[in-house]
Chain A
């Protein structure tokens, strides 16, 4: 466990949000410090993906109350691309296919946009090629995936690996992984988890949304939160995940 004196990266206070006029998130509180791994578990439909997308700024979701402070900034007033520039990354539960756009061109534009923002230099296609081949090793991805269109025709596991590759390229301060483990076989799970572990530093943090204890065998959480009905109703250490695995969610009450 990280000492509670390390820097606060994310502070969520009493956050509520709705979609299509229906309230989904009903007062979420969460504090994430540098170096921490938080697991969010909970039954289907409890609002985990909604919470992840609200943090990343999906335009379909309306924040109806509360605040989110990310490294001292009011995250909620930034458009999604600026949240990404500020260091928030969302690995999608269902990664989107982009027809006609090659993975390498997509990754290069993302990299260059971010690095220009940070005052760095653009990489030309050749330089980027070297860079991205090196990064691909983190998720053991075959370089042929770089020439294919973004996520088009990728298997579930390949899409999830591609998400972690994007995380590696964008080097976020806060990575939110929404069910990155679902649909992965045991080898792919190991690859993805070790990729995430390699990207962890004392200065960044991870929020992992998951249903299963098995991911937590590879990435050890500092906190486990149970979400239900759009609220975090219980928080514990990693042993809470084991208990949820054996007893389910029904016994948990706010």
Chain B
């Protein structure tokens, strides 16, 4: 590879700063007392403490999954802080009371936290290390009956909903990281869209890990009642540390009859440096339940950050005629590793799923798609279409696809297509010989390659995603 492509892929991470803010953090380590302390700090009801402890006791019996195509040193779960909150933690009456240092942080990150200044019609919940620091547009949403608040607040204000749905999609025993999250989660977002409501604005959560030793374990729960619609956006960044931080979130979505949830993520956690030092371990469980008939859940993700991504946003299609979709761009560079994909579980009749996965690998990175399409015995006339395309930039990266298909109903139709292409010196020279420089060439190739996924992102996110991929690939070709 000549230097132009390299220079193109290798732009520095621009969100790597640390905010100097006093925090209230627990010492490192995990045991039942730590869990009790977290629960107490958050003033939680007993049932929630019991939920945590049960999850913790189950977690102790589990071992980290080893089937993914990733390698990393063993994570020491005792060498990690499980609670870190910016001080002071008094109840905020308005946005104006947010610590100006925090506001500046999010300003720098381009997150519109101040309602008056927010350009886009997007309500934002902001999670800083372990806690939610602000939620915008709450009143406006309340007028139409939409609940959008931090998870902690939801536990207090809407305990019946939390009790009903928490762990209903991702049970505490689901997997190692989901169990850990269930034991120690500190905050997150809760959205409830009432019957027949088309949520008047996009809802968005912005996650920021600031403490170099804290893990981030947040919980998102979205419930869309009959005939409702919501579009939810998730963004994330972290400072640059030369140690690895663990991010183990759980996201649960529930869609009732004729409801639709569109969940979009642009993941830009710190990925480590060009030698693979530091970066976030992103071990996330995301699952949506299409519970009602004609319901629809659509995951769109653009994964560009993290040292390691282990993530399979899934849809369980229970309601007849329900639809699950997964549109993904996963980009890895340098020494990043991604093992990501989806699971589409067809249970109801006439259920449909569509998977479009675009993997881009550069540098020495490794990018795997892993997907399961499962059609149950009662899922008559289920349909799945999967397309997995890989693009390799340069000669030293790798891509794999691991499609698993299990069909137990003979009327089902499952289609899988895959392709691999490589961008190297010859492609770049072809562009150059037509007068097109490396930067524009890469952006054109990447945009062309990802078009189908970007088309599913909300406008502002699509623009951000395009720029982000351009940044991440600076210098990797030619």
Which residues of chain A have a CB within 8 Å of any CB of chain B? 56-60, 79-81, 83-85, 89-90, 92, 95-96, 98-102, 105-106, 109-110, 113-114, 117, 149, 166, 170
* B448–A99 CB distance below 8 A: yes
B440 is an interface residue with CB less than 8 A from chain A: yes
Residue of A89, A92, A170 near B430 (CB, 8 A) is A92
* B432–A110 CB distance below 8 A: no
> CB within 8 Å of A: which of B397-443?
419, 421, 425-427, 429-437, 440
In the complex, what residues of A have CB within 8 A of residue B447's CB?
Answer: 100
Of B391, B435, B436, B445, most buried by chain A (CB within 10 Å of CB) is B435
* B435–A110 CB distance below 8 A: yes
In the complex, what residues of A have CB within 8 A of residue B437's CB?
Answer: 81, 113
B449 is an interface residue with CB less than 8 A from chain A: yes
* Chain A residue, CB-CB nearest to B430: A96
A152 to chain B, nearest CB (A): 9
A101-B2 contact, Cβ under 8 Å, with A60-B425, A110-B434:
no
A154 to B436, CA, bound (A): 22
In the complex, what residues of B have CB within 8 A of residue A57's CB?
Answer: 429, 432-433
Residue of B433, B449, B478 near A99 (CB, 8 A) is B449
In the complex, what residues of B have CB within 8 A of residue A113's CB?
Answer: 435-437, 440
* B435–A85 CB distance below 8 A: yes
A117 to B437, CA, bound (A): 13
B161 is an interface residue with CB less than 8 A from chain A: no
A120 to B430, CA, bound (A): 23
A92 to B421, CA, bound (A): 20
In the complex, what residues of A have CB within 8 A of residue B444's CB?
Answer: 101, 105-106, 109
Of A57, A98, A170, most buried by chain B (CB within 10 Å of CB) is A98
A125 to chain B, nearest CB (A): 14
For the complex, would chain B's binding face be called helix, strand, loop or mixed by DSSP majority?
A: helix
* B448–A80 CB distance below 8 A: no
In the complex, what residues of A have CB within 8 A of residue B440's CB?
Answer: 109, 113
* A170–B435 CB distance below 8 A: yes
The 8 A CB mask of B179-213 against A (1 = contact, 0 = none) is 00000000000000000000000000000000000
* B445–A80 CB distance below 8 A: no
A90 to B430, CA, bound (A): 9
In the complex, what residues of A have CB within 8 A of residue B445's CB?
Answer: 98-101
Residue of A89, A98, A105 near B433 (CB, 8 A) is A89
Which residues of chain B have a CB within 8 Å of any CB of chain A? 2, 391, 419, 421, 425-427, 429-437, 440, 444-445, 447-449, 451, 478
A27 to chain B, nearest CB (A): 25
* B448–A166 CB distance below 8 A: no
A101 to B450, CA, bound (A): 10
By Cβ-Cβ distance, the 4 closest A-B pairs, closest first, are: A100-B448, A84-B435, A80-B432, A100-B449
A83 to B436, CA, bound (A): 11
* Chain B residue, CB-CB nearest to A90: B433
* B436–A81 CB distance below 8 A: yes
* B425–A114 CB distance below 8 A: no
8 A-B Cβ contacts within 8 A?
A81-B431, A81-B433, A84-B433, A95-B430, A98-B448, A99-B445, A100-B451, A102-B448
Q: A80-B433, A84-B435 are in contact. List 17 more A-B contacts (CB 8 A).
A: A56-B433, A57-B433, A59-B478, A60-B425, A80-B432, A81-B433, A81-B435, A84-B433, A85-B435, A92-B430, A96-B427, A96-B430, A99-B449, A105-B444, A106-B434, A113-B436, A117-B435
In the complex, what residues of B have CB within 8 A of residue A106's CB?
Answer: 434, 444
* Chain A residue, CB-CB nearest to B444: A101
A99-B421 contact, Cβ under 8 Å, with A81-B437, A92-B430:
yes
Of A56, A81, A109, A113, most buried by chain B (CB within 10 Å of CB) is A81
A117 to B419, CA, bound (A): 37
* A114–B448 CB distance below 8 A: no
A187 to chain B, nearest CB (A): 26
* Chain A residue, CB-CB nearest to B450: A100
* B425–A99 CB distance below 8 A: no
* A101–B430 CB distance below 8 A: no
A87 to chain B, nearest CB (A): 10
Residue of A81, A101, A102, A170 near B432 (CB, 8 A) is A81
A96 to B428, CA, bound (A): 10
A73 to B307, CA, bound (A): 47
In the complex, what residues of A have CB within 8 A of residue B433's CB?
Answer: 56-57, 80-81, 83-84, 89-90, 92
A96 to B447, CA, bound (A): 18
In the complex, what residues of B have CB within 8 A of residue A92's CB?
Answer: 430, 433
* Chain A residue, CB-CB nearest to B422: A99
* A98–B432 CB distance below 8 A: no
* Chain B residue, CB-CB nearest to A100: B448
A96-B426 contact, Cβ under 8 Å, with A80-B432, A81-B435, A110-B435:
yes
A98 to B2, CA, bound (A): 19
Of A92, A95, A101, A114, most buried by chain B (CB within 10 Å of CB) is A101
A248 to B426, CA, bound (A): 32
Of A56, A80, A90, most buried by chain B (CB within 10 Å of CB) is A80
A63 to B432, CA, bound (A): 18
A215 to B365, CA, bound (A): 47
